[in-house]
């Protein structure tokens, strides 16, 4: 088992008894691909996917991020096959408010009826009686947070929480205004947005959430890099004897104590590389070099 210090330490979600290792795992890449349809259908090797998940848990990771619209249903079914009955400390975080079109598109599913169905889909396919954390994903835009009221869907999710189907609520793909709106309706334990070395729009938001003890979970740690930014990261990685992904993950873990990372992979080799990133300590001069990436075009 990888020591806790090699998993970035731990973070307790606000107002809960849930303590997560800061190095988690994202299950999206366990689903397959059908032509241009990404995250669609089963993987080529279900046995390998099951082995990766078991290695995740054996390594001490206790935070798995998923969604029933991955596949759809595929990743949750694989998680159930691999890990059920689940370890007592394992926390499965899922997200709702989208469905998949037959063409593989990501379609908003924001109505109370759709959200209720999504919660029940997650419960059934994960073989759970209650979901630990459900993130409401804003779908005004698939790519980036866009303003728009989330009061109605968040109220519907809060009602499911009151029914005992959901323990805690998080948000995904949201703006600071939407977070403030949501916190008037229900306690929010975490926010999951696009953020990495190159995409730094949420710098101020991360600090604000940290002051309130709310987790921030960045996705796409290497998404949206220009060639110049990638070159800078690669040069730093060579200097440190690490991979670019390891450096990007280590930078996130050192960026703020409320950041939890969820790198995903279907490869055992890449999983082990990613986990080792939590033991990589970046010197201040390296952090300065990496911080400059945001300005490179």
Catalytically annotated residues: 70
In a 3-state reduction of DSSP, which class is residue 65? Answer: strand
- Going through the chain in order, the beta strands assigned E by DSSP cover 10-12, 19-21, 25-26, 33-34, 37-38, 63-65, 91-96, 98-100, 106-108, 131-137, 166-172, 188-194, 215-219
How many Å apart are CA 43 and CA 65, to the nearest integer? 17
Cβ neighbours, 10 Å, residue 279: 16
User: Which phi and psi (to 5°) does residue 75 adopt?
Assistant: -65, -40
Contact 170, 134 (CB under 8 A): yes
How many Å apart are CA 208 and CA 127, to the nearest integer? 36
- From the list 1, 12, 14, the residue with the least C-alpha distance to 187 is 14
- Contacts of residue 124, Cβ cutoff 8 Å, sequence gap at least 6: none
Biggest distance spanned by C-alpha atoms of the chain: 53
Kind and range of the H or E element at 45?
A: none
């Amino acid at each position: 088992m990888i020591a806790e210090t090699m998993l970035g330490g731990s973070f307790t979600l606000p107002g809960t008894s849930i303590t997560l290792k800061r190095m988690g795992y994202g299950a999206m890449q366990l689903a397959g691909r059908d032509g241009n349809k990404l995250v669609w259908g089963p993987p080529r090797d279900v046995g390998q996917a099951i082995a990766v998940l078991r290695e995740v848990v054996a390594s001490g990771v206790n935070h798995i991020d998923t969604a029933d619209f991955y596949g759809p249903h595929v990743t949750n079914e694989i998680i159930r096959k691999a890990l059920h009955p689940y370890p007592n400390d394992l926390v499965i975080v899922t997200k709702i408010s989208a469905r998949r079109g037959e063409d593989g598109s990501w379609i908003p599913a924001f109505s109370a009826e759709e959200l209720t169905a999504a919660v029940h889909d997650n419960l059934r396919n994960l073989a759970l009686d209650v979901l630990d954390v459900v993130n409401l994903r804003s779908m005004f835009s698939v790519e980036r947070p866009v303003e728009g009221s989330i009061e109605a869907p968040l109220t519907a999710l809060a009602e499911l929480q009151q029914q005992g189907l959901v323990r805690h609520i998080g948000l995904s793909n949201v703006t600071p205004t939407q977070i403030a709106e949501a916190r008037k309706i229900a306690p929010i334990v975490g926010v999951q947005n696009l953020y990495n070395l190159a995409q730094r729009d949420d710098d101020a938001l991360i600090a604000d959430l940290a002051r309130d003890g709310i987790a921030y979970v960045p996705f796409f740690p290497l998404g949206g890099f220009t060639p110049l930014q990638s070159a800078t990261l690669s040069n730093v990685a060579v200097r440190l004897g690490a991979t670019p992904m390891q450096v990007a993950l280590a930078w996130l873990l050192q960026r703020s104590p409320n950041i939890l990372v969820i790198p995903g992979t279907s490869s055992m080799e890449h999983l082990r590389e990613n986990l080792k990133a939590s033991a990589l300590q970046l010197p201040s001069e390296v952090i300065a070099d990496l911080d400059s990436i945001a300005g490179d075009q």
